[in-house]
Structure 1
Amino acid sequence: MSDHDSFDLQRFLPYLLAQAAETAGTGFQRHYKGRYGMLRTEWRVLFHLGQFGPMTAKEIGDRARVHKTKISRAVSALTAKRFLTRHVVADDRRQATLVLTRQGRAAFDDLNAAAQAFDAQLMAQFSAKEGALLKRCLAALAAT
């Protein structure tokens, strides 16, 4: 038997992670896309602002590990939907602080509740100990 015959894609960790992320991501997408017409990067920007407060696009991109062009498109779309406003930074007019509008805060609050319910539904298939271990392991992988 050659080395490639013993390789099992179905047990390859990056493949398993991608499959799990796709399944879970598609499930939650029904909430943010169905209710608000948002794309994945848009809800990630919205959630960063909702959770951490006003930030620049660069700060969000760094935290979310998303390329600046995708963040820029998401900011434009969320601005058009009136979910956020841009406030030019006085010291550096090339940058703007992003702030949720009242509409944006309401969308965040709604989606935050939906995210918590969705997370609880996903985690219900595991014991509390398994769920905690899974989240610790995923956080460790994400930090590398």
Structure 2
Amino acid sequence: MTLSLQAPRALDDLLNYRLLRLFALGGAPVIRLLEGRYGIARREWRLLALLAAHGEMSPSQLATLAHLDRPRTSRALTVLVAKRLVGRQVAAADARRARVSLTDAGRALHDEIFPQVAAINQQLMSVLDDPTAQALDAALTALTEHAQRLNEVTVRDVRADRRSGGSRRLRRGDDMESP
């Protein structure tokens, strides 16, 4: 029998949509914790956690690790610098080059929040027995690696033009009937 994820017929059968729903529902308690108790956004938390895990790096490297575009990363870093959770050191030789790292306050905040986020994660995962959790971990790893390969071979010169409200194909009128 073919699973609906392997032969999708509706939105609820699409893997990305199901993962998005899980992300939204499973992440809601984390967002309430971060915003309600600590006054930081999920994106800010992601940057803090990555800096805690990987140490000092350039904003571009951080954007790549966080799967964010550079402007969003820059805005979030500006907020984190203003909150004194992240420090930004500009290279003396080239003002365009910078490195970011956690401040002592940023490290302390990460160390306070992470166990709480991990506990929420454990609560979410508690419905799975060990073999199912291991299978999920293996499946997520395989899907992530395959998605990475797909992104590397996908046509790179075709990009959606979001400002014009659609794809280039629609703007060119390839599929539109003539009046």
Is the structural similarity TM-score above 0.5? Answer: yes
Superposed, 1:14-53 pairs within 5 Å as 14-53=16-55
Structure 1 alignment gaps of length 5 or more: 1-5
Q: CA 1:134 to 1:85, structure 2 compared with 1: closer, same or farther past 3 Å?
A: same
Pairing partner for 1:70 from 69, 72, 76: 72
Amino acid at match of 1:39: A
Which is worse superposed, 90-99 or 65-74? 90-99
SS in structure 2 opposite 1:38? coil
Instruction: Tell me the distance in 2 between the aligned counterparts of 1:136 and 1:59.
Output: 26
Instruction: State the TM-score, normalized to the length of structure 2.
Output: 0.72
Tell me what 2:141 maps to: 139
Tell me what 1:110 maps to: 112
Structure 2 alignment gaps of length 5 or more: 1-7, 148-179
Deviations 1:17-57 (A, max 9, x none): 11111111222112221222111211111011111111111
- When the two chains are superposed, the root-mean-square deviation of aligned CA atoms in Å is 1.6
From the CA coordinates, give the structure whose radius of gyration is larger.
2
After TM superposition, which residue ranges in structure 1, 4 or more long, deviate above 3 angstroms? Answer: none
Instruction: Tell me the distance in 1 between the aligned counterparts of 2:113 and 2:93.
Output: 34
Instruction: State the TM-score, normalized to the length of structure 1.
Output: 0.88
Amino acid at match of 1:20: L
Query: Percent identity between the aligned chains?
Result: 33
Tell me which protein shows more helix as a share of its residues: 1
May I ask how many residue pairs the two structures share in their alignment? Answer: 139
